[in-house]
Chains A and B, each alone.
Chain A
Amino acid sequence: AQSVTQLGSHVSVSEGALVLLRCNYSSSVPPYLFWYVQYPNQGLQLLLKYTTGATLVKGINGFEAEFKKSETSFHLTKPSAHMSDAAEYFCAVSDQHRGSTLGRLYFGRGTQLTVWP
């Protein structure tokens, strides 16, 4: 079974500071992992994803995440926070596997990022 735990429902940082949002997953198959961002009253926007290959994945808006199999983690980072990064961030794991016609996504409960000026 697949599940995601996001540690910390709220994270606050100062503008220019490092952003670190934590995500740990559980998966019965080699995982596909995702980070989405949601701005108020909007849908979810894909930030980045890991499927295979390089374990350090770069996404949009300067975000990146590293897949660490030994730690079952996929933490999201950004070296320098910007005011526009304030949003809710969701980590997700897919149960997609070879031959399947469908990939369900299992989401964490989200982390609200606040950026202080």
Chain B
Amino acid sequence: SQTIHQWPATLVQPVGSPLSLECTVEGTSNPNLYWYRQAAGRGLQLLFYSVGIGQISSEVPQNLSASRPQDRQFILSSKKLLLSDSGFYLCAWSGRAQKETQYFGPGTRLLVL
């Protein structure tokens, strides 16, 4: 069966510091991968998606970037965090057979102070 991992689970960072959040998927090959942010009262916002290694599409211009160095690894980064980057970050995957269905990871809670 497929599983999706995210780490860290919780992170507190000062403004201006760098960020690296990692997401890995097990039990499937060549998945589509997604990064979402969930801010209080603002629902889920799609940040990035990837259909393959090195292929990244950005949905919203912002302070963040994403990379996919391996087939089942998706990384969310920032060089300098802003207060507005605080939120709950969710990674998701969908398979080639049922690409319309996304499965979510446990999330990372980021607090920027």
Q: Tell me whether A and B are bound partners.
A: yes
Interface string of A42-55 (1 = CB under 8 A from B): 11111001010000
Q: Which of B14-47 contact A (CB under 8 A)?
A: 32, 42-44, 46
8 Å CB contacts to A: which residues of B73-104?
A: 88, 90, 92, 94, 99-104
Q: Are A44 and B104 in contact (CB under 8 A)?
A: yes
Secondary structure call for the B interface: strand
A42 and B107 alpha carbons, distance in the complex (Å): 6
| Pairwise interchain contact B51-A46, C-beta atoms closer than 8 A | no
Which residue from chain A places its CB closest to the CB of B9 in the assembled complex?
A41
What count of chain B residues pass the 8 Å CB interface test? Answer: 22
Q: What are the residues of chain B within 8 A of A109 when measuring CB–CB?
A: 42-43
The contact of A41 among B92, B99, B105, B107, by CB within 8 Å, is B107
Binding site for A on B (CB under 8 A): 6, 32, 42-44, 46, 49, 51, 88, 90, 92, 94, 99-107, 109
Shortest Cβ-Cβ A-B pairs, 6 listed: A96-B100, A103-B100, A43-B104, A44-B104, A109-B43, A94-B100
Q: State the A residues within 8 Å of B (CB).
A: 32, 34, 36, 41-46, 49, 51, 90, 94, 96, 100-105, 107-110
A-B contact pairs, 5 of them (CB 8 A): A41-B107, A51-B100, A102-B32, A103-B102, A109-B43
